[in-house]
Amino acid sequence: MNKPVRLNLGCGVNKLDGYVNIDKFDYGVPDMVMDLEQTPWQFLDDSVDEIMLNHVLEHLGRDTDTFFAIMKEIYRVCKNGAKIEINVPHPRHDNFINDPTHVRIITPALLELFNKKSCLIWKEMGAANSPLALYLDVDFKVESFNVEVERKYLDQMTAGEISEDELRHMVNTLNNIAIAYNIVIRPIK
């Protein structure tokens, strides 16, 4: 039985056991030095079981065509149903705003644009959503996502000082409430 292929893309100094740790820079001594913005990648079609993108995707694809090429490569190299874990800073948090290397906001709604079923529904509705899955011939399902919230606001909710609805409203409208998104997507082939 073949060992699963698991990629930790853009690992920096945060290498993971059991993964091929890949980074553009050799500073963190990755297993492989590779620029993720240069495509095609050197992996075979349908060869990857899992990808970790831990605070990486927001740094890639300042140019939209480059971002699209990266999404197409992720789709190409992953097996059907492969787990793709994406952790990114929330776009309304200073952690995102203050880093000049952050070039792209990543949200669950953005990733939903790469789902063919959603794109077809929007097409039927006459919605203005960009049907990226259809344009690029990729198909990713957003399996789950979580919004990390600053601890003090979770404590306020637990203490009954604010309701869950109030916290949700704060996350959607105010800066520095939500810290990050943790998103899992899977390719559908």
Note the pLDDT tens digit of each residue in 106-135: 999 999 999 999 999 999 999 999 999 999
Q: Which of 93, 91, 89 is nearest to 176 (CA)?
A: 93
The CB-side HSE value for 59 (13 A sphere, CA atoms) comes to 17
| DSSP string over 104-163 | ----HHHHHTT-HHHHHHHHHHT-----HHHHHT--EEEEEEEEEE-HHHHHHHHTTSS-
The dihedral formed by the CA atoms of 169, 165, 119 and 102, expressed in degrees to the nearest 10: 40
Residues 167 and 157: beta-carbon distance below 8 Å: yes
pTM: 0.95
Q: Which residues contact 173 (CB under 8 A, 6 or more apart)?
A: none
The CB-side HSE value for 73 (13 A sphere, CA atoms) comes to 20
Q: According to the model, what pLDDT value does residue 1 have?
A: 66
Would you state the CATH architecture of domain 6-150+181-187? 3-Layer(aba) Sandwich (3.40)
Q: Where are the domains of the chain?
A: 6-150+181-187
Q: According to the model, what pLDDT value does residue 2 have?
A: 79
Query: Chunked in runs of 10, what are the mean pLDDT values of the chain (189 residues)?
Result: 91 97 96 98 97 98 97 98 98 97 97 97 94 97 97 96 96 96 98
